A and B are shown apart, each in its own frame.
Chain A
Amino acid sequence: MSKRTIVPFGPQHPVLPEPIHLDLVLEDEKVVEAIPSIGFVHRGLEKLVEKKEFTEYVYVAERICGICSFMHGMGYCQAVENIMGIKIPERAEYLRTLWAELSRIHSHLLWLGLLADAFGFESLFMHCWKLREQILDVFESTTGGRVIFSVCKIGGVRKDIDQDTLKGIVAVIDKMQKELKELTDVFIEDYSVKHRLVGVGVLTKQEAHEVGAVGPMMRASGINQDMRKLGYAAYKYLDFEPVVENDGDCYARTLVRIREIYQSMDLIRQCAAKMPEGEIEEKFKGMPSGERFERLEQPRGEVIYYVKANGTKFLDRVRVRTPTFTNVPALLKILQGCDLADVPMMVLTIDPCISCTER
């Protein structure tokens, strides 16, 4: 056995957008073990629920993450609505789904860009983010914010989208799909990209099941599970199948996310076609009392919201189990036995969102 060395990776590292620290135990160039530590950006957002009224906490929940912010707000609202027995109008359900799917496109494009940057393909990175800008413009014109929307509220949504804007969104998506095809072809076919991704960081179906991987990480290993199939919001009215790949390597995870972008585009078209007219919010009275687990599919995987209310305007407890937190054991699993040079690639393919994880 050769001599073991420990190499610290992070919290500041060129490929890491957010701080996570890994102690990599190396034998020559091979990683034999990785010891993670988090806690660099803890903000205490769960505790804030005791200080903010339950209607105001939506603004805090949205700020848990800067990328999937809308779905955090949506998860919290759904949990409280289910406790209070509020049935939100169908149009509000469709609008939430529309924004959620646009968020998924923007998150996956951001991730594709970061991945390209991690393997040193900078022009590809810039193209991904250039495309993403069109989605951010749609957000700004429909909600008023580029990443933090503040449109979700308990009982529905705060802003409506008129028919012309809806057509405009579909037109943007149609135009983008052509440009996206050019871009994703590079990810799928390019020799140098494949060289860095194929066969790297394989997580088998059994392993994915054992370590409890979620989201694209799990679906790339061949497990067919998508929380959108639970039928929350308007997903029960839409027609889609979870994207599944079987190889379980970095390339498969990239493919899953690429195919999910196209799937989201299709879902947006379905939403725009099926969206009924009507109210966008349901008025409610009273305070929530009871508890509820709510499961949602975020771009990174399954998020669980636990809300416990006590009949006053301040909730007892809100707990958020984010997808990155669940994917860290899967990351440690794939890091065992890999080359040191491949570590950044693997850390990125779980799509880490550390500020989500630490809340």
Chain B
Amino acid sequence: MSVLRFSGYIIKNLFQKPATSMYPLKKQKCFDRTRGHISIDIDACVFCGMCSRKCPSGAIGVDRQVKQWDIERLKCIQCSCCVEVCPKKCLSMKNAYTAPSVGSVKDVFHARVPDNQPNS
């Protein structure tokens, strides 16, 4: 009976949990390779500005004078181009997405001011 072809699904769906999850309240399932967001190990960064120059969407800003690295989260297209070109390999792609937002989000990182003791 071709008419009843989908009836199995109807019964299954009656007793199944919803297929969707309550994101962002519930943590979302990610794969290891999921391109979620860019993260930086700011202590290793030398502020060469290579990531900023190569970024296709111009989301990254680097200021050598004040040792600042910033990224506009909504501008970033998660292509991981910056991760590839970084000479110090201090940039990495993490698999969780940044939190949803309604406006522009700019994450700013500053290099830690070095202590006075040279060996610390």
Taking beta carbons and an 8 Å cutoff, which residues of A are in contact with B? 52, 56, 59-60, 63, 123, 127, 130, 137, 140-145, 148, 150, 158-159, 182, 185-186, 189-191
Contact = CB atoms under 8 A, between A and B. Distances in A.
A185 B5 contact: yes
B56 interface: yes
Given A150-B80, A186-B5, A189-B2, A59 B34 contact: no
B2 A59 contact: no
B33 A59 contact: no
B56 A142 contact: no
B81 interface: yes
B5 A140 contact: no
Nearest to A138: B31
Interface residues of B, number: 20
B79 interface: yes
Given A159-B33, A189-B2, A190-B2, A145 B9 contact: no
A198 B107 CA distance: 56
Contacts of A59: 56, 77, 79, 81
B67 interface: no
B33 A141 contact: yes
Contacts of B84: 158
Contacts of B6: 123, 127, 186
A137 B81 CA distance: 22
Nearest to A153: B84
Given A144-B80, A148-B77, A190-B2, 10 more contacts: A56-B81, A59-B77, A123-B6, A123-B9, A137-B31, A144-B33, A144-B95, A159-B33, A186-B2, A191-B2
B93 interface: yes
A319 B32 CA distance: 36
B78 A145 contact: yes
Contacts of A189: 2
Given A52-B56, A56-B54, A150 B5 contact: no
A150 B33 CA distance: 12
A35 B56 CA distance: 38
A56 B84 CA distance: 12
Nearest to B55: A56
Interface in B1-60: 2, 5-6, 9, 19, 31-35, 54, 56
Contacts of B54: 56
A52 B81 CA distance: 13
Listed residue (B35, B77, B79, B93) with the most chain A CB atoms within 10 angstroms of its CB? B79
B35 A182 contact: no
B29 to A, nearest CB: 9
20 contacts: A56-B54, A59-B56, A63-B77, A123-B9, A127-B9, A140-B31, A140-B33, A141-B32, A142-B33, A144-B31, A144-B33, A144-B78, A144-B93, A145-B35, A150-B80, A150-B81, A159-B33, A185-B5, A186-B5, A190-B2
A172 to B, nearest CB: 13
Nearest to B19: A130
A182 B93 contact: no
